[in-house]
Structure formats: structure tokens, C-alpha cells
Structure 1
Amino acid sequence: MEKVTIGNTDIAVARFNLGGNVFGWTLDEKQSFELLDAYTESGFDFIDTADMYSHWANGGVGGQSETIIGKWLKGRGNRDKVVIATKVGGPTGVNEINTSRKHILESVDKSLRRLQTDYIDLYYTHYDDEKTPIEETLAAYDELIRAGKVRYIAASNISPDRLRESLKVAEENNLPKYQALQPLYNLVERKGYETDYAPIVAEHGLTVFPYYALASGFLTGKYRSEEDFNKSPRGQGAANYLNEQGLKVLHALDKVAEKHQTVPATVALAWLSAQPHIGGPIASATSKEQLKEILSSTSLQLDSADLDLLDTASK
């Protein structure tokens, strides 16, 4: 199993990050356990969640995903065999976006209790409130690292300016530095990451784990008409991509998938993994069949003709 080292850390992970947003939302506890078992039995080890998953989607307070993962970790006794990433700062039913020291210190203890562990491998700033001083946020993470509650930190929804400033402040003040970035990036959402974030990533050696890697399921190819959006609870999220550009990308995915005797989702994820500085895409699955398809992306080698075709169609 090929592994990638996250930033300047001692953590190496298989090149696929399983999204835990569906645990407690579209999957119940039993189904979640089955999926987590299948994932780790396939040799993979990197699980992504957040304190706001999963009932935040329905106006709840979140925490369900972490709770399910925690029960699974305890039941399987495999904490030392998996890398857990979770997040802080995002909006829930009881909190607005908040990256203050107080909120971070309170939230980490809640996440640790739900996860039934005494440490988090990678702790993300999920959203940036853009008003808490950067030094305060990083100093809070420093406290957590010194206490052994967090190993390393990373960033997700943070503006390019605040990300650049955070990296600068960390270096100048000997504070923890973000080691990874979790941005929105996929074949139909390229410009924001490639224009604004890729230069920062290259300069600071960050490892990138893109979310919405399948564009809310659009890149699976199952949403090709208005009627298709009723196929799943997440269907409406794919509606933004059903346009001339999106259909062009699907056509290219179909061609490459046919060539390699696979499916569009596998090709879309393999394309992401082939991009510079990408540690692996984040994607979730709601069945073992879906999981098998997306995990097969790690062994699909796209050639230059495939990459050129997808590159042209998605620009």
C-alpha cells in the first residue's frame, strides 16, 4: 500500500481519506461500523470527521460522527492502527464559527470524549471566524500539542490571506504550523484551489486532502438530469454542476472509465491523486460497493492521454 507523509510530520497515511460526514446522517451506527471495517480491512487507515458532523445538516448540534467512530475504535481496539482527523471551529446548532482559544480548548475535550481516545492525530481549523487573532488560535493549538491531546494541526475553510498569515505567524513565533490543507477541489471546481491555494501549498510544503472530491456525487455520473437529483439525500448538492461544462467533464470521465473498464468516480478520484501535492482525496461511501469503487482509484494509473483529456474538458 503506497503511503504519503503529511507535511513535515511523522504521520504516513494510505492515499485515500475516508469521509465520516455520512456516519450518523445517511448511515446508522451498524452500517457505519460495517463500512469502517471494510475500509480498514482493505488496508486503509485515514479517517476524516468533524465535531459538527452529522446532524448539523438537519439543524442538530453535531457530534454523531465522532461518537460512532469512537464506539468503533473502542470496539475494535485499533486506535494505534488508524489516523484520525477531526475539526473545530465550524458552525453547529449551538455555536457560530469560532476559532477562539476558549472554544478550541472546550471543543477538543468534547471531541476526545466522543472519539474515546486521548489524542487526535490531525486537528483542523474547520472554518476561520476571521476575527480571532491568529496568534490566539495557534497558541491554543500549541497548548493542546504540549498537553498531548493533538499531534499536528491543519486548515480547511480559511482564506488564502489568513492561511498565508497563519503560516508566517507560526514560523516567526515558534508556534504550531499547519501541515495540511483540506480545500474544495475537484474536476468541476478547479479555479479557486489552483489559483489561490496551490502556490501557498507549494511554498510551504503542505499536503492537500481535497473535500467534495466527487462534487457532491456529480462526478459519479449518476446525476445527468433534473430528475436524477431525487436519487439520494445529497442529490441537490450536485445540481450546480449540471450545465454544459459539467456534462463535458462527465463525457470525458465516461471515455476514460470505459478505456480502463472502471467507473467515472474512480477516474475522478485518480485524477485528483495525480495532481501536485495531493496526499489523497476525501470521499464518503454509503455502501461497500461504493467503497470498493472509490478505493480502486488508488491503484488506477492514468496515462498522459487520460490526464490531457480530463484537463481539457475541465478547464
Structure 2
Amino acid sequence: MTNPAMPMARLGRNGPVVSRLALGAMTFGAETTEAEAHRQLDLFVERGGTFVDTADVYANGLSEEIIGRWGKQRGGTAELVIATKGRFGPPAGSHGGSRRAVVRAVDDSLRRLQLDTIDVYYMHGWDRHTDVEETLSTLGDLVRSGKIHYLAWSNVSGWQLQRIVSTARMLGVPVPVALQPQYNLLDRGIEVEVLPCAVEAGLSLIPWSPLGGGWLTGKYTRDSRPVGATRLGEDPDRGVEAYGRRNTERTYAILDVVRAIADRIGRPMGHVALAWLLSRPGVSSLLLGARTAEQLETNLGAAGLELEAEDLQALTGVSAFTVPSYPYQFLAEWSEMRVWDELGCHFA
């Protein structure tokens, strides 16, 4: 039974209904111990969460194992939607989107998760060495055999997503129900091509890094590099949220608006950032990743928050970004991409 305080949404046109806040398990077995991961899982379910997301590459498979042991201890996960991903490993001999790699990866994930079927299976990225027809044909076989319920993809460009959708339809394979991209107030790049393509094709968006690696909680400042037990404190040059990359005037202009709204409505900054993202076209759920149950509990407090239209407009305006003049601004000026207006996407 779900908690009425936790909103729900459907993935794609025919996918499962899931909680609008999902539990991302990338920290499990790496930054988060098994006992603490089990605390997070218990809290998440207690608060009405139904959507748990992991990947075979997280902690080299340990994240899946932790979820599998938790599910076994509680007598099953039938009321939950469990998602995992394959593409990058393990094992080392099964990387990529080839038939051999995908079949081995799915079987290994099922074993680690202690499941008979994976509810939502993502390809974790594009494989330029394997024709997508081979990947989709294999995934279709796995759906027919009962090892996967629904397909999804992560980390692709607009043309790659369209190729996936078109090829699936050509082969008679189920079209993916969801796409998992990076998306937040600091990085709205998917709005140029990927988001319109996903919405047109009927895929739901499940953003990762909805808080920009912690930036949108207000924890980082202009004048001091991060230190201590935080993601950037341990590695300030980490990935897309690296301190040197995001320590910009644009970032702090966005944070100023987020902070002003948060102060006025009496909420943490993170709640404001999450509520804005959940209001975006196509976004059905988003991934909450945390080191501790206390951090997770704070973010779960955003469930059900809806911002006023004026606040949404202010956040969208301050986070607007510049796109190349051709073809995007050219098309916008000639009203050939009205879909951007329909989706509420505005560029500086």
C-alpha cells in the first residue's frame, strides 16, 4: 500500500506506475555501508517510495547484491519497481550492447538482485561498436522470455534516442518507456534535442543528479573549494558537477533565486530544485541518491511540493542558457520549433 503523501506517475505510455521520487542506489557498497543502505531502503518504502534504481556497475555489482539481500530478508519486493542497468560491466568480458554482453549482464543482475524478472532494464549508454538493432533484438528476446518487463535507456543524444525508438518500432520490439539523463537547474542541455524527442516518442524522463551533485542545496560557495565528507569534498574535480566547472556566476545567480524562494516558503533549497524539476515536461520521477538515511529523509520531504507559477517562471528564467545560433535560434525565430514553447523550454 502506498503512502498518499507520495505522488505517483506512469512511465511512458504503457509502463509501470512508480513513485515520483525514486531511490538511486549508486552509493550502496561504495559511499554507503550495507547496513546504512538497508536503513535507506526501509525508510524509502515507509515513506511511500516504490521505485528503486541501481546498475551492475555501481560498486562493481555490490549495489545490486545489497538490494537483493534486503529484498530476501523482507520476503520479497513484489510491491516495488526495481530498475537496473547494463552496458559498462561487470564482468569485464560483458561490456557493451552485443547479444553476448546483454544476455550475460541481465543474467548476472538477476542473480545479484535475487529476482526472476527485472522490472525496468536500462541500457546505460550508447555502444558505437554494436549495431543498435542487435541490442534491441536481444532486449526484445529477453522481454519475451520473461527476464525483463520494460526497456529503458540512459545517457544518449537526441539522434541516438530517435534511432533507438525508430529501430524498436521497425523490429516490433517494445519501445523504451523511460530515459535517464542528467537534468537539473544547472544543466538543461537535454531541452535542445533529447527532451523534445523523448516527449514526442512517449518516453518518461527519470533525471539523475537532480540536485546537481549537491550544488542546488547551497552547500558550496564561491570562495572555498569543498572539503570533508561530501562528494566534491573528497574529489573537487569529480565529473559533471566538478567545482571548477560549476563555480560560475551563472550557478550563483540560480542559487540566489532558489534560496530566495526556499526562504519565503520555509523549505530547504533542495526541495525547491526538486519541485522545479518535477514540474518539467516529461519528467515522471527523479533519482534521490544519498549517503545516509538522514540525507534521504530530508530530500523525501519534497514529495508533493508544488511551486507557484511565478516561482517556476523565475527559476526557468534565471537558468536559461544560450544555444548555437544555427539551427536552433534560427528555427526558433522562424517558429519552426514551436515544440520548445509547448514544452516550456526557453533559451537565453
For normalisation by structure 2, the TM-score amounts to 0.85
2:161, 2:198 within 8 Å by CA — same for their partners in 1?
A: no
Alpha-carbon distance in structure 2 between the residues aligned to 1:89 and 1:205: 23
The residue number in structure 2 matching 1:44 is 49
Instruction: Please state how far the C-alpha of 1:142 moved relative to its aligned partner.
Output: 1.0
2:51, 2:80 within 8 Å by CA — same for their partners in 1?
A: yes
The residue number in structure 2 matching 1:212 is 209
Instruction: Please state how far the C-alpha of 1:154 moved relative to its aligned partner.
Output: 0.4
Match of 2:198 among 201, 210, 222: 201
The residue number in structure 1 matching 2:35 is 30
Instruction: Please state how far the C-alpha of 1:175 moved relative to its aligned partner.
Output: 1.3
2:24, 2:54 within 8 Å by CA — same for their partners in 1?
A: yes
The residue number in structure 1 matching 2:130 is 132
1:223 aligns with 2:223: no
Alpha-carbon distance in structure 2 between the residues aligned to 1:46 and 1:291: 14
Alpha-carbon distance in structure 2 between the residues aligned to 1:111 and 1:36: 18
Secondary structure (helix, strand or coil) at the match of 1:38 reads helix
Q: What's the % identity of the aligned pairs?
A: 36
Greater shift in the superposed pair: 120-129 or 236-245:
236-245
Secondary structure (helix, strand or coil) at the match of 1:142 reads helix
Segments of 5+ residues of structure 2 without an aligned counterpart are 321-348
Secondary structure (helix, strand or coil) at the match of 2:48 reads coil
The residue number in structure 1 matching 2:176 is 178
1:109 aligns with 2:114: no
Match of 2:295 among 282, 287, 290: 290
1:23, 1:65 within 8 Å by CA — same for their partners in 2?
A: yes
Alpha-carbon distance in structure 2 between the residues aligned to 1:136 and 1:20: 29
AA at the equivalent of 2:218: G
Q: CA RMSD in A?
A: 1.5
Instruction: Please state how far the C-alpha of 1:132 moved relative to its aligned partner.
Output: 0.8
1:265 aligns with 2:262: no
Segments of 5+ residues of structure 1 without an aligned counterpart are 55-61
AA at the equivalent of 2:66: I
Task: Report 1:41-120 matches (<5 A).
Answer: 41-54=46-59, 62-90=60-88, 94=92, 98-120=96-118
Q: Deviation digits for residues 225-248 of structure 1, max 9, x if unmatched?
A: 453511334112341211101111
Greater shift in the superposed pair: 232-241 or 90-99:
90-99
AA at the equivalent of 2:277: L
Alpha-carbon distance in structure 2 between the residues aligned to 1:310 and 1:96: 43
Instruction: Please state how far the C-alpha of 1:64 moved relative to its aligned partner.
Output: 0.9
Alpha-carbon distance in structure 1 between the residues aligned to 2:149 and 2:295: 31
1:182, 1:209 within 8 Å by CA — same for their partners in 2?
A: yes
AA at the equivalent of 1:67: E
Match of 1:311 among 311, 316, 319: 316
Alpha-carbon distance in structure 2 between the residues aligned to 1:111 and 1:80: 17
The residue number in structure 1 matching 2:20 is 15
AA at the equivalent of 1:292: E
2:276, 2:312 within 8 Å by CA — same for their partners in 1?
A: yes
Secondary structure (helix, strand or coil) at the match of 2:52 reads strand
Q: Where do 4+ consecutive residues of structure 1 move more than 3 Å?
A: 225-228
Alpha-carbon distance in structure 1 between the residues aligned to 2:31 and 2:212: 17
The residue number in structure 2 matching 1:57 is none
Flag the 1:232–1:95 CA change in 2: closer, same or farther, 3 A: farther
Alpha-carbon distance in structure 2 between the residues aligned to 1:161 and 1:213: 23
Alpha-carbon distance in structure 2 between the residues aligned to 1:188 and 1:44: 26
Alpha-carbon distance in structure 1 between the residues aligned to 2:211 and 2:75: 31
Alpha-carbon distance in structure 2 between the residues aligned to 1:258 and 1:115: 42
The residue number in structure 2 matching 1:152 is 150
Greater shift in the superposed pair: 139-148 or 292-301:
292-301
Q: Deviation digits for residues 181-216 of structure 1, max 9, x if unmatched?
A: 0011100000x2100111111211111000111111
Alpha-carbon distance in structure 2 between the residues aligned to 1:148 and 1:101: 17
Q: Deviation digits for residues 107-126 of structure 1, max 9, x if unmatched?
A: 11110110011110000010
1:84, 1:120 within 8 Å by CA — same for their partners in 2?
A: yes
AA at the equivalent of 2:176: Y
- Paired residues, number: 307
Alpha-carbon distance in structure 2 between the residues aligned to 1:103 and 1:171: 23
The residue number in structure 2 matching 1:59 is none
AA at the equivalent of 2:210: A
Task: Report 1:1-12 matches (<5 A).
Answer: 1=4, 2-12=7-17
Kindly name which structure, 1 or 2, has the bigger radius of gyration based on alpha carbons.
2
Q: Deviation digits for residues 141-200 of structure 1, max 9, x if unmatched?
A: 01111111100100101222121011111112211211100011100000x210011111
